[in-house]
Amino acid sequence: MMTKKIIHSLVTGIFGAAFSLAAVQSTAYAAVPASVQAQQQDRDFIRLKERFLSALWREDADTALWAGKFDSAANLAVPDQKSRTQRLAFDELWLGRFAKLDGASLSASQSTDLALINNYLASSRWYLTDFREFEWNPSLYNVAGGLDVILNTDYAPKAQRVRSLIKRLAQVPAYYQAARASIARPTAEHTRLAISQSAGALDVLAELEKAGKTVKLTAAERSLLSQRIAAASTAVQGYINWLGDLEKTLNPETARSFRIGKQLYEGKFTADIQSGYSAEQTFERAVKAKEEAHRNMARLADELWPKYMAGQAKPEDAVQKVAMVIDKLSENHVRREDVFKEIRQQIPILQDWIRDHDLVELDRNKPLIVRETPVYERGVSVASIEAPGPFRPHDKTYYNVTPLDSQTPEQAESTLREYNHWVMQILSIHEGIPGHYVQLQHANKSPSLIKSLFGNGSMVEGWAVYSERMMLESGYGGNTPEMWLMYYKWNLRTVCNTILDYSVHVLGMSEADAMQFLTRQAFQTDSEASGKWLRVQYTSVQLASYFSGYSELYEFREQRKKALGNKFNLKQFHEEFLSYGSAPVHIIKSLMTKG
């Protein structure tokens, strides 16, 4: 039985992949008008795209690194005014070049690429001219990420990587000097974040020192490495001290607020989300979704009451009633030392489920590795996926989980109740299978480099959130009222994040009101709610991206179901949707419904 099952899923694996490629090609080519002129337009665009990308890799070494291109690993770009002026000129130059093309005469797939490139360049320009985060967010400056990715990515023999790092380290003092010169009016919140995250850079430097001892270097290289590590550590420590002094001078009355305000919020929403709706409309849609979730939860709480709450007086207030049932269910959670073990054993169960239920393809050659979140990345989320860029499709994908080590027993208990038996499974669906991990696998095999590179965050998060509901609809979790109630609680987080983000950044919501809102309306524990409050101070718009992408995707699937009737096939829908790479949902929708 077992063997048969495995062979069966291998066979569908092969056909599934063939199908998905065919779907992409037929869409790309069917949309090309028969005229030779249109094909010529595509060819011109493809050539310009290639020139643009090679210019981009020269201009933006950091983006190259994150995409998995290590050609300039030895050079650390110094974030000074000169580099920003140069970048702005680059954005203008290429926006001008692409503006000369007639997007309407390109094939569907190429015109999507053009839209993504234009949006990328316009966003980059907007960030430099309007958002100007480089002046007020000191946590933008951190050498840890680049050092870590070079040290720990297997793109070349380790000794060669360490040699590149020796060269790269030479620029670290200049890097932090430029950082100090760039910071004009920081927020207190981002200053404190930068101080704590910079400590992580010291950890990476210590790790590099250790790694240097395990590879073959000449005596001269060895001494250069330790000199430069010492100088880099001094520069990082100097930055931390400087920020510490700076923070003391910040007056809460006059310092820049972390709230970005309506104008920057709408601008950032346009730049980052690329939704068919405005920020304000999305906020209003989220308010409606919250009310609907509350109605469903009240019904589920009534259903569960006799099983869990027998003998207790049922409150009139629906929110209170739901909260009591959630509270009771939350007792079912793992011990703090078992969090990793639990997540590790969930992965194969989820893999089997999506194969057995024919939901989406999974590449079994690319294992998902559960690990502790590296220190310099901590401070924002509990769990995250770290996947290789499109140039490094064979690299490892990590499922980062932030350990509870630094939490007191009370804080840990609160976190564990939040990530209880049911929510822990939904978390693994979201981050791993078939959420981010599966989406990124598909994106990296997408034939469009542009769509892989300039991925749309809202589509990426939207898919992960969508996959939670899709899994439950397929029967994962046994269709129990417990699972559904916890699902709504979890989904409400996405919905309420959107409401929170807009309310805090645009409507001036206070910390006390935010905490009240999250714990009462979204049923979050204190530790989750205070984590969210930290996050909404450090980031903007990002918290709204989940609901935006999810609601657009779910709406689209329902429309598709209706339009195709019994010809609708869920796996086909997923394969086709994912085959376009991480493009905005409304662009994928127009590609899938065309012709």
Residues in contact with Zn ion by CB under 5 A are 461, 464
Using an 8 Å Cβ cutoff, are 581 and 448 in contact? yes
From the CB of 539, what's the least distance to Zn ion, in Å? Answer: 13
From the CB of 291, what's the least distance to Zn ion, in Å? Answer: 24
Two tokens, residue 550: 């999810």
By beta-carbon proximity to Zn ion, the closer residue of 464 and 541 is 464
State the DSSP H helix or E strand holding residue 105, giving kind and residue range, or none if neither. none
From the CB of 443, what's the least distance to Zn ion, in Å? Answer: 14
By beta-carbon proximity to Zn ion, the closer residue of 239 and 487 is 487
Longest dimension (CA), the chain: 78
From the CB of 237, what's the least distance to Zn ion, in Å? Answer: 34
Name the residue with the smallest CB distance to Zn ion: 464
By beta-carbon proximity to Zn ion, the closer residue of 461 and 528 is 461
> Is the Cα dihedral 138, 60, 87, 260 positive or negative?
negative
From the CB of 397, what's the least distance to Zn ion, in Å? Answer: 14
401 strand-pairing partners: 372, 383
| Whole-number Cα distances in Å, 428 to 293, 347, 488, 574 | 22, 7, 16, 19
For 456: left if phi > 0, alpha if psi spans -120 to 50, otherwise beta; the answer is: beta
By beta-carbon proximity to Zn ion, the closer residue of 175 and 547 is 547
By beta-carbon proximity to Zn ion, the closer residue of 461 and 501 is 461
CB-based burial, 256-277: b 16+ in 10 Å, e otherwise: bebbbeeebbebbbbbbbbbeb
> Is the Cα dihedral 294, 298, 299, 300 positive or negative?
positive
From the CB of 398, what's the least distance to Zn ion, in Å? Answer: 14
By beta-carbon proximity to Zn ion, the closer residue of 110 and 551 is 551
Q: Report the side by side order of strands in the sheet with 383-386.
A: 368-372, 397-401, 383-386
From the CB of 468, what's the least distance to Zn ion, in Å? Answer: 10
By beta-carbon proximity to Zn ion, the closer residue of 290 and 333 is 333
Q: What angle do CA 234, 400, 552 make, to 5 degrees?
A: 120
Calpha distance 104→102 (Å, rounded): 6
From the CB of 554, what's the least distance to Zn ion, in Å? Answer: 16
By beta-carbon proximity to Zn ion, the closer residue of 267 and 432 is 432
- Going through 304-382 in order, the beta strands assigned E by DSSP cover 368-372
DSSP for 286-319 reads HHHHHHHHHHHHHHHHHHHHHHHHTTSPPPSSHH
| Whole-number Cα distances in Å, 22 to 33, 572, 595 | 19, 12, 15
From the CB of 419, what's the least distance to Zn ion, in Å? Answer: 11
By beta-carbon proximity to Zn ion, the closer residue of 290 and 436 is 436
